Structure 1
Amino acid sequence: MMIQPTIVTKKAFQTIGISIITNNEIEMSSNGKIPHQWNQYFQEQITNQIPNKATQTETIALYSNYESDETGNYTYTIGVPVSTISNTPKNMTALTIPAATYAVFTTRKGPLSEIIAETWQDIWKWSKENNRAFTTDFELYDERTFNPNDAQVDIYIALV
């Protein structure tokens, strides 16, 4: 059964994190870069290197700089919301996400590795009939994801 999104409007916000450029074709192959990026994020304790954190419990994975639509390249950034992007460390990316209206998909509870992929399948189906902006989308990881085997995530999809 497909998840029905909630529509929300969010104020602009800023994040700092680590970025890669990838696309869905790469991510669906055995050469996916995103799992390696998460490993780096945790192994190097990137969270602890980010200044001016606006929260202690949220991690955000952002999809931005879309080349076209879900078939093109995009920038994938794992980071945290911050109060200011001044003093961004040299090896990191600072992003300002403009105020926008989002369709928010809340995953079922389950293993992180399954629920994210499954919900994106729903989002791709949903976006065939809805107006995705392809500006900045993001996954919000909060206290509901502390147990990775029984997690729940909100995925924000920017609307036109």
Structure 2
Amino acid sequence: MSVSVTIGQAIAKEGFKMSGTSARTTNAAEMSGNGVIGAQWGQFFGNQVMEKIANRKNDTILAVYTDYESDETGAYTYVLGAEIAEAGQDKELRTIAIPDQKYVVFTTRKGPVPEVVVEAWQEIWSWSKHNERAFVADFEVYDGRASDPANSQVDIYISIK
């Protein structure tokens, strides 16, 4: 099977705020089955977190990788939520600010979310060997194209220097 990930041109994106649930993890933990991301998604939907995000700009789910310890081998914080106009008062949710940044956008093929996202990250890690990532904040965009988990397309923004 051929992996189909589209790599876009470098773009500049204005910073934004988002609110959601957060957890600390590593890629090694996630790949070994001892990670937290799968459970975090389950809790996100099970606890209807999206409905709790005050001042939400839209219904697009963002999955942000930030607070990098080092690079893709170190620990990072995974924040699952949505873009907001301003911070709400909910103490259960974490609000973060994503700074103005340059990104390269990777777009997955259409398919089952877990499969296409993992494929895209494998492509990103390969791409990273020859390109300089900034490790500021990277994020996945789950918009209307991801409404069917069995046939979704996701954009992944990778921060670059």
TM-score of the pair, normalised by structure 2: 0.95
**Cα deviation code 1:13-41 (max 9, x no counterpart):** 00000000000000001212100000000
**Matches of residues 81-160 of structure 1 in structure 2 within 5 Å?**
81-85=83-87, 87-160=88-161
State the SS of the aligned residue for 1:4: strand
State the SS of the aligned residue for 2:102: strand
Distance 1:3 1:130 in 2: 16
1:72 alignment partner AA: G
- Find the counterpart in structure 2 of residue 32 from structure 1: 35
Distance 1:140 1:99 in 2: 17
2:50 alignment partner AA: T
Q: Alignment identity in percent?
A: 44
**4+ residue stretches of structure 1 with deviation over 2 A?**
1-6
Which of the numbers 16, 19, 22 marks the counterpart of 2:22? Answer: 19
- Find the counterpart in structure 2 of residue 73 from structure 1: 75
Deviation of the 1:113 alpha carbon: 1.0
**Cα deviation code 1:90-126 (max 9, x no counterpart):** 1111010011110000000000010000000000000
Deviation of the 1:6 alpha carbon: 2.7
- CA RMSD of the aligned region, Å? 1.0
Tell me, yes or no, if structure 1 residue 10 matches structure 2 residue 13: yes
1:28 alignment partner AA: M
Count of aligned residue pairs for this structure pair: 158
State the SS of the aligned residue for 1:140: strand
Distance 1:155 1:88 in 2: 29
Gaps of 5+ in 2: none
State the SS of the aligned residue for 1:53: coil
2:44 alignment partner AA: Y
